[in-house]
């Protein structure tokens, strides 16, 4: 089980979840000048491209106690699994931090929740609000006064025009475009490249241009 020590007044970082999405998270932290020392997952990974230490299963009491000496980040791409991991981590009073790439442009009037990933090239404009454990993935644009609820994933290259609301747990696919003033419900899935010009109800799955329900 990995031990975590302070380095230059910063705690080392432990990732909760270690697969494809977490690799982008890890490199975001490296770009921030932070050290990722270990990962937690259900079992030790055979594929370990960053040679991280395995800290164990984060649901086990002994592992949780060790994690309290580290900064943690829930690096799971799936919205529902990320929510479960985040809520367990918060319930255990772990230190959950944000991963914000230095190349991102974030308005000083925008607000970020806890456990948020803001990847390379992201733009978050004036008065927007980003909820807890949201993924703002590579190169997405979140325009002025958008409201992004908890556990949302905005995929690479997506564009949310002004005053867009996205409900909890929804997924906005790569290179999709959402017109200004639109409301997206909870647990919605929007496919890649979809152009949204009308409000979308909770639980809908929609794709295409013109968009169609799936």
User: Rounded to an integer, what distance in angstroms lies between the CA atom of residue 194 and that of residue 182?
Assistant: 14
**Tokens read off for 119:** 């990847």
Residues 6+ away with beta carbon under 8 Å from 136: 104, 116, 117, 118, 119, 122, 124, 130, 142, 148, 154
Q: Which domains does the chain have, with CATH numbers?
A: 6-97 (3.40.50.20), 98-205 (2.160.10.10)
Question: Where does 55-138 have alpha helices with state H?
Answer: 61-67, 79-91
Between residues 5 and 144, the one the model is more confident about: 144
Instruction: With beta carbons less than 8 A apart as the criterion, state whether 128 and 111 touch.
Output: yes
pTM over 0.85: yes
Q: What is the pLDDT of residues 155-199, one digit of tens each?
A: 999 999 999 999 999 999 999 999 999 999 999 999 999 999 999
How many CB atoms are closer than 10 A to CB 144?
A: 18
pLDDT at 90 over 80: yes
Mean pLDDT within 142-147: 98
Give the single-character DSSP code of 79.
H
Q: What is the pLDDT of residues 2-42, one digit of tens each?
A: 333 333 446 899 999 999 999 999 999 999 999 999 999 99
User: Rounded to an integer, what distance in angstroms lies between the CA atom of residue 77 and that of residue 56?
Assistant: 20
Instruction: With beta carbons less than 8 A apart as the criterion, state whether 172 and 184 touch.
Output: yes
SS3 sequence of 25-77:
HHHHHHHCCCCEEEEECCCCCCCCCCCCEEEECCCCHHHHHHHCCCEEEECCC
């Amino acid at each position: 089980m990995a031990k975590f020590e302070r380095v230059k007044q910063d705690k080392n970082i432990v990732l909760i979840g270690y697969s494809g999405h977490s690799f982008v998270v890890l490199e975001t932290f490296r770009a921030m000048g932070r050290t990722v020392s270990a990962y937690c997952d259900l079992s030790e990974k055979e594929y370990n491209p960053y040679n991280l230490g395995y800290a164990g299963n984060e649901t086990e009491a002994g592992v949780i106690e060790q994690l309290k000496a580290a900064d943690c980040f829930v690096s799971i791409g799936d919205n529902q699994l990320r929510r479960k991991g985040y809520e367990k981590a918060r319930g255990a009073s772990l230190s959950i931090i944000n991963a914000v790439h230095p190349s991102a442009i974030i308005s000083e009037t925008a607000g970020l929740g806890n456990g948020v990933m803001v990847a390379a090239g992201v733009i978050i404009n004036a008065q927007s609000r980003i909820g807890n454990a949201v993924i703002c993935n590579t190169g997405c644009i979140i325009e002025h006064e958008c409201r992004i609820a908890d556990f949302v994933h905005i995929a690479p290259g997506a564009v949310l025009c002004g005053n867009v609301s996205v409900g909890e747990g929804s997924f906005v696919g790569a290179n999709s475009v959402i017109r200004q003033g639109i409301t997206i419900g909870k647990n919605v899935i929007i496919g890649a490249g979809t152009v949204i010009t009308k409000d979308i109800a909770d639980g809908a799955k929609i794709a295409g241009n013109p968009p169609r329900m799936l």
